[in-house]
């Protein structure tokens, strides 16, 4: 029984959260559905599925997906089983995967596909179309047509030219210039190239400028999505191997260290409050409004951090060029501090009829949002300079700064103004 009418999300949910029925559920899918869904599962679930498939079942799946995706799946299989599987594949796929597996998965070559054919510029549209048809019949996939003269890449022949060009025309006039990248370039270099020059493909070259393969934009988009997801995990102090499908034990394993660090910083903030115990005893109302100071500072800093991390990832900002951004973020913190300070001061005056505490809270709000703008900008930039992930653990340091300085300012002003 196949799940043709079942929502993909429901199938993925069942595969992820019902480990005892996982293999049965997966095998109940058609081969086409298996090939479509396997890459949507988390890495750990995907690895578990592959480990529990028989070799014939795994071979059928690998024969169905694209070669570059098959390469990624084989990387999750043990080396001995992988070798046996490769030997049992069709000769064409065996040759393709053998070549792809030679390259570093973190390089440009690790992203490429081998679905291309090479033609010469003097060939006719008709001759190239026959080569394309031959490749499709052999592999079941449409190739990229690379136009090469001698050993030099001239560009690509867009597929629509094959459909609308005259059969007797030479392809020379239809060639589209295509960018190239070294096989050893890392993923960031590939992403930078696609961002700077948006296009649908890049040709990967060997050290001697011979053609190795082609990278498509959808592979780069998937890579960018994975990197953004990893940054979001780091941003929250979560290991990039963790997913929503993990069990309780794995989630504890990946998170407890960050929570311990946060606990340490919380004690620091608590110690700061302890310095003003006498003031809090005399003016209990201050304790009521302390969470507002801490919460507003933390939220404002997180807003700044998100903008700066995005700018760093797009290479729009670094420590040397941070001046303008720092001024604008601190300026925004100042004005937002005034706006929110006035609002909270009016609330205190209306509810508690205490003008002095209203003034203390308003001033503390301005100072803390200034602090949030400063640290929210500088901490991720400093971490980048130190060659650390600009998102990972940033919230720990920023929250510490806004809590400690916020409480110090709020309670310090309270001690001065209310005495």
Separation CA 406–CA 298 (nearest Å): 10
Complete domains list, the chain, with CATH: 8-102 (1.25.60), 111-232 (3.10.580.10), 248-418 (1.10.357.20)
Tokens 């002003």 appear where?
A: 413
- Helical segments of 153-276, H only: 159-164, 187-196, 217-235, 248-274
Q: Is the pLDDT of residue 419 over 50?
A: yes
Whole-model pTM? 0.51
Q: What confidence tens digit (pLDDT) does each residue in 293-303 have?
A: 888 988 898 88
Q: What confidence tens digit (pLDDT) does each residue in 404-416 have?
A: 888 899 899 888 8
Residues 6+ positions from 81 with CB-CB distance below 8 Å: 55
Conformation bin of residue 155: beta by default, left when phi > 0, alpha when psi is -120 to 50: left
Separation CA 171–CA 387 (nearest Å): 48
Average pLDDT of the chain is 80
How many residues does the structure list for the chain?
Answer: 419
For residue 5, what pLDDT is reported? 41
Element holding 12 (H helix, E strand): helix 8-17
Q: Is the pLDDT of residue 6 over 70?
A: no
Mean pLDDT (whole number) for 288-293: 86
Residues 6+ positions from 78 with CB-CB distance below 8 Å: 51
Q: Is the pLDDT of residue 291 over 60?
A: yes
Q: Is the pLDDT of residue 3 over 50?
A: no
Q: What confidence tens digit (pLDDT) does each residue in 265-284 have?
A: 778 888 888 888 888 888 88
Q: What confidence tens digit (pLDDT) does each residue in 118-165 have?
A: 888 888 888 888 888 887 776 667 788 888 887 788 888 887 777 777
Weakest-pLDDT range from 164-173, 242-251, 377-386, 395-404: 242-251
- Sign, CA torsion 84/90/95/101: negative
Q: Is the pLDDT of residue 329 over 70?
A: yes
Q: What are phi and psi of 207, to 5 degrees?
A: -60, -30
From residue 261, give the alpha-carbon distance in Å to each of 123, 241, 256, 288.
66, 20, 9, 26
Chain-centre distance for alpha carbon 283: 47
């Amino acid at each position: 029984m196949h799940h043709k009418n079942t929502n993909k999300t429901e199938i993925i949910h069942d595969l992820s959260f019902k480990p005892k029925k996982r293999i049965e559920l997966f095998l109940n899918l058609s081969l086409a559905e298996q090939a479509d869904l396997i890459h949507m599962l988390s890495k750990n679930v995907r690895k578990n599925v592959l480990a529990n498939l028989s070799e014939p079942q795994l071979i059928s799946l690998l024969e169905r997906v694209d070669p570059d995706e098959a390469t990624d799946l084989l990387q999750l299989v043990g080396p001995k089983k992988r070798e046996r599987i490769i030997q049992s594949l069709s000769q064409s796929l065996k040759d393709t995967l053998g070549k792809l597996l030679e390259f570093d998965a973190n390089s440009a070559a690790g992203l490429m596909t081998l679905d291309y054919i090479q033609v010469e510029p003097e060939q006719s549209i008709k001759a190239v179309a026959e080569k394309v048809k031959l490749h499709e019949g052999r592999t079941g996939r449409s190739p990229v047509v690379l136009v090469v003269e001698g050993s030099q890449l001239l560009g690509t022949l867009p597929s629509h030219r094959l459909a609308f060009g005259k059969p007797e025309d030479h392809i020379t006039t239809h060639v589209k210039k295509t960018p190239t990248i070294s096989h050893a370039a890392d993923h960031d270099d590939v992403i930078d190239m696609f961002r700077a020059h948006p296009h649908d493909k890049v040709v990967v070259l060997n050290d001697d400028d011979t053609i190795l393969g082609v990278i498509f934009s959808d592979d780069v988009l998937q890579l960018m999505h994975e990197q953004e997801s990893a940054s979001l995990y780091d941003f929250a102090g979560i290991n990039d191997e963790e997913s929503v499908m993990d069990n309780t034990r794995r989630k504890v394993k990946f998170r407890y260290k960050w929570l311990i660090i946060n606990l340490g910083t919380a004690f620091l903030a608590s110690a700061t409050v302890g310095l003003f115990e006498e003031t809090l005893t005399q003016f209990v109302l201050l304790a009521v409004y302390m969470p507002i100071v801490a919460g507003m500072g933390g939220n404002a800093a997180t807003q700044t951090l998100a903008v700066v991390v995005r700018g760093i990832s797009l290479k729009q900002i670094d420590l040397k060029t941070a001046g303008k951004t720092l001024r604008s973020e601190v300026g925004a913190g100042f004005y937002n501090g005034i706006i929110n300070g006035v609002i909270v001061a009016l609330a205190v005056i209306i509810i508690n009829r205490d003008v002095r505490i209203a003034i203390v809270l308003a001033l503390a709000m301005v100072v803390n949002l200034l602090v949030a703008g400063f640290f929210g900008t500088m901490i991720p930039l400093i971490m980048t300079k130190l060659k650390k992930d600009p998102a990972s653990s940033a919230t720990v340091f920023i929250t510490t700064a806004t809590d400690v300085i916020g409480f110090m300012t709020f309670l310090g002003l309270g001690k001065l103004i209310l005495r």
